[in-house]
Chains A and B, each alone.
Chain A
Amino acid sequence: SQTIHQWPATLVQPVGSPLSLECTVEGTSNPNLYWYRQAAGRGLQLLFYSVGIGQISSEVPQNLSASRPQDRQFILSSKKLLLSDSGFYLCAWSARAPGRQETQYFGPGTRLLVL
């Protein structure tokens, strides 16, 4: 069965510090991968998605970047965090196979607090 991991679970960082959040998927190959952010009391906002190694699409201009160095690894980064980067970050995956790619499955998330 497929599982998705995210770490760290919680992170407190000062303004201006760098960020690296990691997401890995097990039990599947060649997945589509997604990064979402959820601000307090709000819905989910898609930040990035990737259909393959090195292929990243950005949905909104922001202080963040994403990379996919390996097939099942997706990393969210920032060089200098802003207060507005605080939130709950969720990684998700979907299968690439026809007829199965429409459903996204989410990881446990990372709580980021920028002070």
Chain B
Amino acid sequence: AQTVTQSQPEMSVQEAETVTLSCTYDTSESDYYLFWYKQPPSRQMILVIRQEAYKQQNATENRFSVNFQKAAKSFSLKISDSQLGDAAMYFCAYRGYYGGSQGNLIFGKGTKLSVKP
């Protein structure tokens, strides 16, 4: 079974600085998708970024980028120019390539990010 591990329960960053959140996963599949979701105090889950495993190029969305290392099964999230609004829980998630139960998201336990003014 696939697993997702976020080893940093809490992280802190100074406003305008850069922070990297770690995520590792375990799978025997070769094709899959990886996601980072943000959960602010409102608790709604917001998609931050997604990565297809068959793409070697790292995904980027404005100030958010990932470092996808397929061989190492590592998928870290880098937040540049951190803003106060970035403070939230961040969840890493894995999805198998195919549908059915393999298409369900598997979440890590999350990393709580604090941003200091």
Chain A residues in the interface with B (C-beta under 8 A): 32, 34, 38, 42-44, 46, 49, 51, 57, 59, 88, 90, 92, 101-109, 111
Q: Which residues of A contact B109 (CB under 8 A)?
A: 42-43
Within 8 A of A (CB), among B90-117: 91, 95, 97, 99, 101, 103-105, 107-110
Residue of B nearest to A90 (CB): B45
Q: Which residues of A contact B103 (CB under 8 A)?
A: 32, 101-102
The CA of A103 and the CA of B101, in the complex, are separated in Å by: 14
Instruction: Give chain A's interface secondary structure class.
Output: strand
Residue of B nearest to A107 (CB): B44
The CA of A57 and the CA of B100, in the complex, are separated in Å by: 9
Within 8 A of A (CB), among B66-110: 91, 95, 97, 99, 101, 103-105, 107-110
Determine if A103 and B44 form an interchain contact, defined as CB atoms under 8 angstroms apart: no
In the complex, B64 has a CB within 8 A of chain A: no
Determine if B42 and A108 form an interchain contact, defined as CB atoms under 8 angstroms apart: yes
26 contacts between A and B (CB under 8 A): A34-B104, A43-B108, A43-B110, A44-B45, A44-B91, A44-B105, A44-B107, A46-B104, A59-B104, A90-B45, A92-B45, A101-B99, A101-B103, A102-B95, A103-B33, A103-B35, A103-B47, A103-B50, A106-B37, A106-B44, A106-B45, A106-B46, A108-B42, A108-B43, A109-B44, A111-B43
Residue of A nearest to B110 (CB): A43
Determine if B101 and A57 form an interchain contact, defined as CB atoms under 8 angstroms apart: yes
**Nearest Cβ on chain A to B115's Cβ, whole angstroms:** 20
Q: Which residues of B contact A109 (CB under 8 A)?
A: 43-45
Residue of A nearest to B33 (CB): A102
Q: A42-B109, A43-B91, A43-B109 are known contacts. Are A105 and B104 too (CB-CB below 8 A)?
A: no
**Nearest Cβ on chain A to B88's Cβ, whole angstroms:** 13
